Amino acid sequence: MGLFNNKIESDAEIRLRKRTEKIVSVAVVFVVGLLFAWSFNKLNYNWNWSAVYVYREKFYLGFINTLWISFSALLLSVLFGFIIAYCLESGNVLLRVLARLYIELIRGTPLLVQILIFFYVIASSIGLENRYFVGILNLAFFSAAYISEIFRAGIKSVGQTQLESARAIGLTNRQTLIYVVIPQAARVVLPPLAGQFVSLIKDSSLLSIIAISELTLNAQEVNSFTYSSLESYLPLAFGYLLMTFPISLWIRRIERRVQLEN
Amino acid sequence: MKDGCSLKIKIEHLNHSFGTQKILNDLSFESREIKSLAIIGPSGSGKSTLLRVLGGLIQAQSGRIEINGEELKPDEKSLFQHRKKVGTVFQDFNLFSNLNAFENIILPLVKVHGLSREEAESRAQELVKRFQLEPHAKKKPAQLSGGQKQRFAIVRAVAIQPQLLLLDEPTSALDPEMTAEVLHLIEELKSENKDFILVTHNIAFSERVANDILFLSEGAVRDYGHAEAVLKHSKSIEVQTFLRKILI
């Protein structure tokens, strides 16, 4: 182990490392839990879970909405990201400049402002009124700027000789993409892509400012009905963790597989 | 399998530059009817570029090429068709790292040459067996030794039953033992009457497997002829000097 140490471990060493990691994880969770309990206890806070419990349906609804909004945005962002990556590497100078400008603009400005401008200015001027649709598009546009760079790095990671080999055996460009570039780039792309998906899910909370009934908006509403902020926001945090944690586990699985393949 | 000599190459005024660097410099030459040709010469002499032009991978900026009496037309569509008919093996990293060795052989057979999966598998199986590569067929390139990788790469190129095989320094990234494995395989191909053009640093080997030798320097032909004639009795001072230097 170690950042710059690629020592090959024996099976016994791997088993030992995994067992140690498990024990340490449990211990760390326990200690951090205690720390939280202690600080919450010091707060002298008047917990009122029952008031919030009345509105449990809202959390459920918000969770489901966030889930499908994020999922749709995620699919769209992959598509847009691919198109922008293609433009970045295109032979056409106009496409390249536009893609670069797009990325700089999106990455350099707050998502909050983008949502406001996109919804109240751009979408309304072209007659897009469904706020859910606008919100999903907005998230997808935002995420695509990051994803395009991830894709580009992945495609660039495929060696020149691999491409030349593909040409030499007579593959068409499309076949080269399908059978050589995508499978090879996937190994480089998947871990950061999964990380981007986690960000996207959390970023969807900002859609609350255009009154999309996702998890955060619902938690905010429960808070204003009950004046119980912690009881509203703790389940909110837990809800996001419930969506992002499986992705984190998935990233780790992919990374392990990549290690095996190399 | 074809009998007798079938490879004939004619090149007229071939020019190619990368940026300001002239790689092929008005290169002209006409071969006899042969089976195999080795291209030798100092580094940067344009050997690999010439091979890539012959393989349809690079379009030379000017000049005319005939292979076996057929003109190699310099448009992408013709070059694409040409690439399907030749098998090319590079110095290194030929095999696709995402596929195992066996799948590497099958991919072009199915996707480029239209064989059914079963036909492709049986053809690949037969070749893998003949070249004693069976135990390694299911391995990914990363699990193979350099010599095994190159042997599979050659098998992949041979599997499509190419009209011509092009080998670009196939052993220069290998240690001596692995080099021997690969050279042995090339000798076997020679004994099976496959036509090939080989770019190599290995002079002794070029003498053993090639009918003729083409000596390039600074993108032009310095000598061409029967292997022995070029290696032992070249009239070119440059060729003599080069050979003397590397044979010491």
State pLDDT tens for residues B107-161.
999 999 999 999 999 999 999 998 889 999 999 998 999 889 999 999 999 999 9
Mutate to test the interface with A, among B48, B53, B84, B96 (most CBs of A within 10 A): B96
Which candidate from A165, A171, A183 shows the least CB-CB separation from B98? A183
pLDDT of A47: 85
State the Cα–Cα distance between residues B195 and B212, nearest whole angstrom. Answer: 12
pLDDT of B244: 86
Confidence band for A41, pLDDT divided at 50, 70 and 90: confident
Separation of first and last alpha carbons in chain A: 16
Which candidate from A162, A165, A179 shows the least CB-CB separation from B111? A179
State the Cα–Cα distance between residues B239 and B222, nearest whole angstrom. Answer: 7
pLDDT of B74: 85
pLDDT of A13: 85
State mean pLDDT over A219-235: 90
User: Where is pLDDT greater, at A4 or B81?
Assistant: B81
Q: Which residues of A touch B169 (CB under 8 A)?
A: none
pLDDT of A11: 82
From residue B119, alpha-carbon distances to B21, B132, B158 in Å are: 46, 20, 15
Q: Which residues of A touch B111 (CB under 8 A)?
A: 171, 175, 179
State mean pLDDT over B204-222: 90
Mean pLDDT of the residues in chain B: 90
pLDDT of B2: 45
Closest CA to B7 of B198, B215, B160: B198
pLDDT of A238: 94
pLDDT of B92: 84
CB atoms within 10 A of CB A155: 20
A169 touches chain B (CB under 8 A): yes
Beta-carbon separation of B83 and A164 below 8 A: no
Mutate to test the interface with A, among B98, B158, B160 (most CBs of A within 10 A): B98
State the Cα–Cα distance between residues A125 and A217, nearest whole angstrom. Answer: 25
**Tens-digit pLDDT profile for residues A17-39:** 889 999 999 999 999 999 988 99
Q: Which residue is closest to A164 within chain B, CA to CA?
A: B57
**Tens-digit pLDDT profile for residues A112-170:** 999 999 999 999 899 888 999 999 999 999 999 999 999 999 989 998 889 999 999 99
The lowest-confidence range among A83-97, B47-61, B149-163, B170-184 is B170-184
Strand locations in A84-210 (E): none
Residue A127, both tokens: 């007659």
Beta-carbon separation of A170 and B88 below 8 A: no
Residue B217, both tokens: 């320097």
**Tens-digit pLDDT profile for residues B27-39:** 999 998 889 999 9
Report whether pLDDT(B1) > 50: no
Q: Which residue is closest to A160 within chain B, CA to CA?
A: B93
Beta-carbon separation of A170 and B84 below 8 A: yes
Beta-carbon separation of A161 and B112 below 8 A: no
**Tens-digit pLDDT profile for residues A101-110:** 999 999 999 9
Phi, psi angles (nearest 5°) of residue A188: -85, -35
Q: Which residues of B touch A180 (CB under 8 A)?
A: 96, 98
